[in-house]
Chains A and B, each alone.
Chain A
Amino acid sequence: MGKDILRNLRKDFLVEFRSRFALNVSASFAAIVTIAISLTAGGVPFPANVQAIILWIIIFFSAMNGLSHIFVREEDQGTALFLRTAVDVDSVFVSKFIFNQAFMAVILAVVTPLYLFFLQVRVVHAAHFIFSIAAGGFSMAAATTILAAMVAKAGGKGSLFTIISFPILLPVLWISVSSTSAALNAAPPAGGSLLFLLAFSGFISVISFLLFRFIWLED
């Protein structure tokens, strides 16, 4: 199975690298929104929790723009059946999961510094900040992998992905905002939020793994 996962990962990275469409859309979205907010804010920094909220809204919608791509592309380009015959179902899930995590990591790496710079964010607890962003992003990518598969099978059109992701990601968003906000405040932050995010990620990853075959395999 490990070989199959690598096989599919290598293929996905090659295909995505050559077209780069989804990454461009997500990154452009993040950049545009950040700059727009910074411009219209007129140079006055927002309070810490508002900064945290806006950051996560940008991350969320950047993710919504790109995280369904990895499955929707297979359906749109007609390669889903080829993939179905070439790689077993569990390996498909794990490789797409890893890809989405990598994709999310790239989005975070682009969005976060841009954001810190343009919105004059003062990070008080750097380690906690980084862990909050990383844990929140990981949870988001973990939960949305199977949702991307569902949306792809449902035709992948319009805002369906955002609509179905939102109820599931709400706990993640909430805790990520509160955790990030704590990292921007003077008081020492508690580690409970990070534990929550890791527990959530672990749990949803396992459930998704078990449910994936009902999405991917036809009747």
Chain B
Amino acid sequence: MKAISAAVKSVYILMPAAIVMAFLWAPPAQVLGDSSRIMYFHVPIAWVSILAFIVSGIASILFLADRKGSFARLDGIAYNSAEIGLVFTVLTVITGSIWARISWGVFWNWDPRETSIVIILLIYIAYFSIQGAMAHNDNRGRIGSAYLILAMITLPFFAFLVPRIYPSLHPDPIINADRTIFLDDRMRSTLAVAIVSFTVFYCYILHIMNRMMKLQNHIEENRHEAD
């Protein structure tokens, strides 16, 4: 635990480094110029959205599999990760829209990636609706976990489906943003640092949230110990 606490504090170095690199060190892109710098935020934020979702899903699976309750509050960890995931998903949509506007002139395109992220957003909304509806219900952990697992499992069907459907309903997006921006070495390393920074940032926040949750549980359970 102490090692994790120390490791995640590295975010205090990594994040400022990433920001400086993104705005000052990396050169402007060929076509988009300085506007391309949003890439150094959008890509890591999108990555963290997915990561948070996966962590929630795995925590949910472990929670249901853990019949004896030997691992504390896995459902709480899933919930915390989902909270972070929700925020990052919204940020992904926002930064993505800005980038889309810069690159293609429209804020929203319903291309496969955009569609997938909206689906994840809808799943989060559903998950938190369940959690909210069961606020005082002890079964909340199990039912929320089961829903997240169910939803997570339907995603591959989407991933398979979306590229097939799109040719028929919409014209192909002319530019696929990631492949047409040429990344030189400095840009590539900035992006790498940004991705690592945001990942550590996610771990840091999750770690703090989990510790808070543990403390809150401890206080509640031993409320009268001092009496």
Contacts and interface: CB of A to CB of B under 8 A. Distances in A.
Are both chains from one complex? Answer: yes
A196 interface: yes
Interface in B146-202: 146-147, 149-151, 153-154, 157-158, 161, 164-165, 168-169
Given A150-B130, A208-B150, A214-B142, A163 B125 contact: yes
A30 B165 CA distance: 27
A167 B146 contact: no
Nearest to A217: B142
Interface stretch (B26-34, B49-57, B133-141): B133-141
Interface stretch (A1-9, A61-69, A170-178): A170-178
Given A154-B133, A154-B137, A170-B122, A214 B154 contact: no
A178 B158 contact: no
A157 B146 contact: no
B146 A164 contact: no
Given A150-B146, A196-B161, A215-B142, A168 B154 contact: yes
| B contact patch SS | helix
Interface residues of A, number: 32
Report whether over half of chain A's contact residues are helix, strand or loop; otherwise say mixed: helix
Nearest to B157: A171
Interface string A145-166: 0110010011101001001101
Contact of B150 (A153, A168, A199): A168
B209 interface: no
B119 A154 contact: no
Interface string A185-219: 00000001000100110011001100100110011
Contacts of B138: 219
B168 A178 contact: yes
Given A175-B161, A196-B161, A200-B157, A167 B123 contact: yes
A153 B125 contact: no
A178 B165 CA distance: 8
Contacts of A208: 150
Contacts of A196: 157, 161
B142 A163 contact: no
A150 B161 contact: no
Contacts of B157: 171, 196, 199-200, 203
B130 A214 contact: no
Contacts of B164: 192
Given A153-B139, A175-B161, A164 B134 contact: no
Contacts of A219: 138-139, 142
A55 B134 CA distance: 34
A214 B64 contact: yes
B5 interface: no
Given A163-B125, A167-B126, A174 B165 contact: yes
Nearest to A204: B154
Contact of A157 (B64, B133, B137, B143): B133
Contacts of A157: 133
Contacts of B130: 150, 154, 160, 164
B80 interface: no
Interface of A: 143, 146-147, 150, 153-155, 157, 160, 163-164, 166-168, 170-171, 174-175, 178, 192, 196, 199-200, 203-204, 207-208, 211, 214-215, 218-219
Given A167-B119, A178-B165, 18 more contacts: A146-B146, A150-B143, A154-B130, A154-B143, A155-B137, A160-B129, A163-B126, A164-B147, A167-B126, A168-B151, A192-B164, A200-B157, A204-B150, A211-B146, A211-B150, A214-B64, A215-B146, A219-B142
Interface of B: 64, 119, 122-123, 125-126, 129-130, 133-134, 137-139, 142-143, 145-147, 149-151, 153-154, 157-158, 161, 164-165, 168-169
The 10 closest A-B pairs by CB, nearest first: A167-B122, A164-B126, A154-B133, A167-B123, A211-B146, A154-B134, A163-B129, A214-B146, A171-B157, A214-B142
5 contacts: A167-B126, A170-B119, A175-B161, A208-B150, A215-B142
